[in-house]
Amino acid sequence: NNAWESVINIEEEVSNKKSPKEVVEFSRKAFTAGKTKSLKFRKAQLKGLLKFLEECKGDIEKALYKDLRKHKQECHMCETEVVANDLRHTIMEVAKWANPQKPQKRLVNLLDGVYRYNDPYGVVLIIGAWNYPILLTLGPLVGALAAGNSIILKPSELAPATANLLAKALTKYLDKDCFQVFLGGVEETSELLKEKFDYIFFTGSTTVGRIIYQAAAKHLTPTTLELGGKSPAYIDESVDMKKAAKRILWGKLINSGQTCVAPDYVLCNKEVQDKFLQHAQKIITEFYGRDPMESPHLGKIITERHFKRLVEFINPENVAIGGKYNSSARIISPTILINVSPDDPVMTEEIFGPILPIIIIKNAEEAIHFINAREKPLALYIFAKDKSIQNLFLNNTSSGGVAINDTVTHLITENLPFGGVGESGMGSYHGKEGFETFSHQKSVLVKDLTDLTEMTLSVRYPPYSDIKISV
Ligand code: NAD
């Protein structure tokens, strides 16, 4: 019974009705008119977004199944509920966040007003990735709406059913002047990026992140880059291996490994590897049955190009578990590779599929050295019961985030900002951090006009003198 069911068909292609220039001009006009600024409007938009998630649940599931063969539970657990939780929290808190903050005053400003205002930036562009096409578009949208911006959303062309759904349906739940969806791939996005935005929020690969950053630099547009990379998982001998293996394989295999914070590879010693492998086979069978290729719980690889790239990583000589694939269905069975060298192709780029290589190291120090010799990862996973081992990694490595004895869930932990560092990105969001990301902190001083203040100010006015310097 939702508002648009009768008119929507996710199979049908949607095209942009406006040129990039027109889209941006339209958005700017809406922002300049001041429509987005009131708290009432912001809250109504946030509630509209929540309503979309609730009323269009079935169609979101259909679209995510079509694009990624995503199971309903994964849609709920990893996409819609994460956004809905952020929304509920933001609706409750936005009035408090939007209020000008009053920092502590020094003696010299005692009679003045000293404020930090949170101004919306203006026209915001959000570019999403395909792997979590709801979470990575609507997640940033929560902060951008709460902060009172006028928004253009560019979903990924590689998840077309979800992109069409957003263009056709979400636009009916939000203000049509202040929220627009612009569709397209490289060519259309390149054209769009020539326009001037007040903020760009990008989720995607490090390679494209560089292109976005360069385009933003032309207009000095502030930017958040949520990028990728290889997130390592260190397993220490002190850990409960059954739990560690289960948690690592869950994080690796949700969405068939197409998760920015999936553990990319494992670092452990030879004895730990043997124990890990003993548990891994059992866990994979528990998760996906005897033949994971037949399991409805394993997603598909997004495109043929991505599938071919992944299959090339599977050197049969290295396969300890799995290694099977079905080209027509684009499904790869959970695969663990051993005797892998750091120079093998699987270790030189982000994997982004259900393939987990194990690299043998002697101890924690060698693992830290291995991590620090590479780009800063988006996530670092430490599986260790021993606190001194946990602290060794925390104090001697740099990564976007860390989860100890779990994978992925630091991303959905309330009150923790999410973002990368170095090649894995810059800036962060979620909850209050999302609101702050899309707000410019404007410093405001309201000077007192009394004679007393004027008297204290007299020292700053010319004519200058040595006496005034010493005051
Ligand atoms: P991508 O960089 O190929 O594409 C992301 C977006 O950029 C898409 O909307 C796409 O249309 C657009 N785009 C692609 N090429 C472009 C170009 N030349 N000019 C302008 N725009 C262009 O990334 P992807 O394949 O969609 O996603 C996978 C990557 O994203 C992985 O590296 C993954 O780790 C990363 N990722 C990061 C996060 C995070 O939150 N940090 C989340 C998901 C994915």
Positive or negative, the CA dihedral 264, 68, 207, 305 is: positive
Q: What average pLDDT is seen over the chain?
A: 96
Q: Say if residues 225 and 212 touch (Cβ distance below 8 Å).
A: yes
* Rounded average pLDDT over 234-241: 97
Locate the ligand 1 atom nearest the alpha carbon of residue 154 and give its number.
9
Rounded to two decimals, the ipTM of the complex is 0.96
Lowest mean pLDDT among 105-109, 192-196, 210-214: 105-109
Per the listing, tokens 């000008």 go with 100
pLDDT at 6: 40
Q: Say if residues 364 and 234 touch (Cβ distance below 8 Å).
A: yes
Using the predicted structure, report yes or no on whether residue 424 has a pLDDT greater than 70: yes
Protein residue whose Cα sits closest to atom 5 of ligand 1 = 204
Protein residue whose Cα sits closest to atom 34 of ligand 1 = 228
* Rounded average pLDDT over 328-357: 98
Looking at the chain, the whole-number percentage of residues with pLDDT higher than 90 is 95
Strands (E), 325-456: 325-326, 331-332, 335-337, 355-360, 379-383, 401-404, 425-426, 439-446
Q: Which of 132, 203, 309 to mutate to test the pocket of ligand 1 (most atoms within 8 A of CB)?
A: 203
- Report the phi/psi class of residue 246: left, alpha or beta, with left for phi > 0 and alpha for psi in -120 to 50: alpha
List pLDDT tens digits, range 2-32. Answer: 444 444 566 677 889 999 999 999 999 999 9
pLDDT at 3: 43
pLDDT at 144: 98
Token digits for 164? Answer: 């069409």
> Which class for 57: exposed (0-12), middle (13-18), buried (19 or more C-beta within 10 A)?
middle
* Rounded average pLDDT over 124-146: 98
pLDDT at 9: 66
Token digits for 414? Answer: 């309330």
Token digits for 165? Answer: 């759904």
Q: Cα separation of 243 and 249, whole Å?
A: 10
pLDDT at 467: 87
Strands (E), 190-262: 199-203, 223-226, 231-235
- Of 75, 78, 178, 260, which is the active-site residue? 260
208 CA from centroid of ligand 1 (Å): 6
> Which class for 229: exposed (0-12), middle (13-18), buried (19 or more C-beta within 10 A)?
buried
Side by side, the strands of the sheet bearing 179-181 are 179-181, 150-154, 123-127, 199-203, 223-226, 425-426
pLDDT at 2: 44
Angle (CA) 63 289 383, round 5°: 85
Contacts of 132 (CB under 8 A, 6+ apart): 78, 79, 255, 259
pLDDT at 14: 84
- 228 within ligand 1 shell (Cβ under 6 A): yes
* Rounded average pLDDT over 297-302: 96
> Closest by alpha carbon to 128, among 66, 212, 219?
212
260 among known catalytic residues: yes
Q: Say if residues 353 and 332 touch (Cβ distance below 8 Å).
A: yes
pTM for the model: 0.96
pLDDT at 10: 64
Using the predicted structure, report yes or no on whether residue 380 has a pLDDT greater than 70: yes
List pLDDT tens digits, range 154-181. Answer: 999 999 999 999 999 999 999 999 999 9
> Which class for 114: exposed (0-12), middle (13-18), buried (19 or more C-beta within 10 A)?
middle
Give one DSSP letter per residue of 149-208, joined into a string: -EEEEE--TTSHHHHHHIIIIIHHHS-TTTEEE---SHHHHHHHTTS--SEEEEES-HHH
